Amino acid sequence: MLGAIAGDIVGSRFEGRDPPKRDFALFHPQCRFTDDSVCTLAVADALMGDRDFAGSLRAFTQLHPDRGYGGMFLAWAFTDDAPAYGSWGNGAPMRVAAVGWLARDEIEARDLAAAQASVTHNHPAAIAGAQAVALAILLARSGVPRAELRQRMITDFGYDLAPERALVGGGFDVSAAGTVPPALTAAFETDSWEAAVRTAVCLGGDTDTLACIAGSVAEAIHGLPADIAAAVPSYLTPDLRDVVTRFTAAVGS
Ligand SMILES: [Mg+2]
């Protein structure tokens, strides 16, 4: 899960700007954690504490309100009884990493991914995107070979993961259906966490979320380098660091 947080932090300073050259500095004083990290840790905390997803997402968001949330999510987060609002956005897959690490099997991964998505993003494309990312992490950490994993994503979710189409970038796409295929492809077509995240960031657009999702899957496939993992806590607030510490102790990643 730390791979998702690190990806968000690395991608944060390029969101909505021109894509950087590939050799950009991963960590920089302008990097910060964004809504991707807050929501990822809210879902992780809910899973570890058997807390409900909506309550955890609201509590974390209210503690960290200025982190680049979408307007509809923010309104939902500050209204205790607000229903899900049909979003097809990439918020559902961007916050799902912990499910991939804590689920015991494919059915549980799909069920938990859908459950955490559905409190806000109850559009089928957002639920599918969250399930794809959770399943990719579960299968990768289970040792499923990358080619087989990639084929499962194509077969089960209908994604086009051909690099010549998935890795073209351009535009600012916040849909789950437009974000998950390039993020997965960045993880599948590279040989390290760092290369996956650089590939995702260089697509431009919603760079923190592309890098968050690519980083979450790349961590399960390639592993997260120790120096990257070590850099993350200094960017977080103490309450968020505490979630990372408890998750790492529970899961080992
Ligand atoms: Mg963000």
Per-residue model confidence as pLDDT tens digits over 44-57: 999 999 789 999 99
Using the mean position of ligand 1's atoms as its centre, give its distance from the Cα of residue 93 in Å. Answer: 12
Average pLDDT over residues 112-117: 98
Instruction: For residue 145, report the distance from its CA to the centre of ligand 1, in Å.
Output: 30
Radius of gyration of the CA atoms of the chain, in A: 16
If you measure from the C-alpha of residue 148 to the centroid of ligand 1, how many angstroms do you get, rounded to a whole number?
30
Q: Would you state the structure tokens that stand for residue 243, as one six-digit string?
A: 């979630």
Contacts 24+ apart (CB under 8 A), 160-164: 161/185, 161/188, 163/189
For the segment 159-204, what is each residue's pLDDT rounded down to a tens digit?
Answer: 999 999 999 987 889 999 999 999 999 999 999 999 999 999 999 9
Q: Are 182 and 203 in contact (CB under 8 A)?
A: yes
Ligand 1 centroid–CA 139 distance in Å is 26
Q: Is 122's pLDDT higher than 70?
A: yes
Which segments of 12-67 does DSSP mark as H helices, in order? 35-49, 53-63
Residue range 96-109: mean pLDDT, rounded: 98
Q: How many helices (H) and strands (E) does the chain have?
A: 15, 0
User: What is the percent of the chain where pLDDT is above 90?
Assistant: 94
**Average confidence score pLDDT of the chain:** 96
Q: 253 falls in which pLDDT band (50, 70, 90)?
A: low
Task: With cut-offs at 50, 70 and 90, classify the pLDDT of residue 105.
Answer: very high
**How far is the centre of ligand 1, averaged over its atoms, from the C-alpha of 169 (Å)?**
17
DSSP label at 55?
H
- How confident is the model at residue 176, as a pLDDT? 95
Measured in Å, residue 69 CA sits from the centre of ligand 1 at 7
Percent of the chain whose pLDDT exceeds 70: 100
Residues 6+ away with beta carbon under 8 Å from 251: 1, 101, 102
Rounded-to-integer distance, Cα 218 and Cα 140, Å: 9
Distance of CA 183 to the CA centre of its chain: 9
83 DSSP 8-state letter: P
Q: Answer whether 53's CB lies under 8 Å from 95's CB.
A: no
Structure tokens belonging to residue 6: 């690190």
Q: How far is the CA of 23 from the centre of ligand 1 (A)?
A: 22
Confidence of residue 221 (pLDDT cuts 50, 70, 90): very high
Neighbours of ion ligand 1 (CB under 5 A): 34-36, 68, 208
